Amino acid sequence: MKKIIIVIIVASLAGGGWYAFKNKAASGKPKYTTAQAELKDLSEVVDTTGVIAPENRVEIQPSASGRIEEILADEGETVQAGEVLALMSSSDRVAILDAARASGDDQYSQWKETYKPIKVISPISGTLILKNVVEGQTVGASTVLFAMSDRLIILASLDESDIGRVKVGQRATIVLDAYPDKRVTGTVFKILDEGTTKNNVVTYTVKIRPDRVPPFFRSQMTANLKIKITERKNILLVPGMAVTTDPQGETAVITEIKDGQPVYAKVVTGQSEGDQVEILSGLESGENVMYQEKAYTAQVDSSGKNPLMPTRPKVNRQQQRALGGH
What pLDDT digit, counting tens, does each position of 78-113 carry?
Answer: 999 999 999 999 988 889 888 888 888 888 888 888
Beta-strand pair 146-149/171-176: unpaired
pLDDT(322) > 60: no
Chain centroid to CA 288 = 32
Q: Mind spelling out the 3-state secondary structure of 209-245? A: EECCCCCCCCCCCEEEEEEEEEEEEEEEEEEHHHEEE
255 neighbors 264 (Cβ within 8 angstroms): yes
The pLDDT tens digits for 208-223 are 999 998 989 988 999 9
The residue-averaged pLDDT of 125-152 equals 91
- pLDDT the model gives residue 300: 41
pLDDT(273) > 90: no
pLDDT averaged over the chain? 82
pLDDT grade for 317, boundaries at 50, 70 and 90 = low
Cα–Cα–Cα angle for 240, 241, 247, nearest 5°? 110
The pLDDT tens digits for 197-208 are 888 889 999 999
The residue-averaged pLDDT of 131-155 equals 92
Tell me the HSE value of 191 on the side-chain side, using a 13 A CA sphere: 16
Domain 46-53+151-231 sits in CATH 2.40.30.170: yes
152 neighbors 217 (Cβ within 8 angstroms): yes
Cα–Cα–Cα angle for 85, 86, 87, nearest 5°? 145
C-alpha dist (Å) from residue 257 to 36, 172, 198: 15, 45, 58
142 neighbors 60 (Cβ within 8 angstroms): no
The residue-averaged pLDDT of 271-299 equals 75
**Percentage with pLDDT > 90 across the chain:** 35
| pTM recorded for the entire structure | 0.57
Domain 57-149 sits in CATH 2.40.50.100: yes
* Spatial separation of the C-alpha atoms in residues 43 and 47, rounded to whole Å: 12
Beta-strand pair 146-149/222-239: unpaired
Per-domain boundaries in the chain: 46-53+151-231, 57-149
Beta-strand pair 276-281/57-60: unpaired
As beta bridge partners, residue 130 has: 147
pLDDT(301) > 50: no
- pLDDT the model gives residue 313: 55
The residue-averaged pLDDT of 293-308 equals 45
Hey, what amino acid is at 116? K
121 neighbors 84 (Cβ within 8 angstroms): yes
The contacts of residue 48 (CB under 8 Å, 6+ apart) are: 156, 157, 158, 162, 206, 225, 227
* Spatial separation of the C-alpha atoms in residues 177 and 112, rounded to whole Å: 51
**Percentage with pLDDT > 70 across the chain:** 81
* Spatial separation of the C-alpha atoms in residues 325 and 2, rounded to whole Å: 8
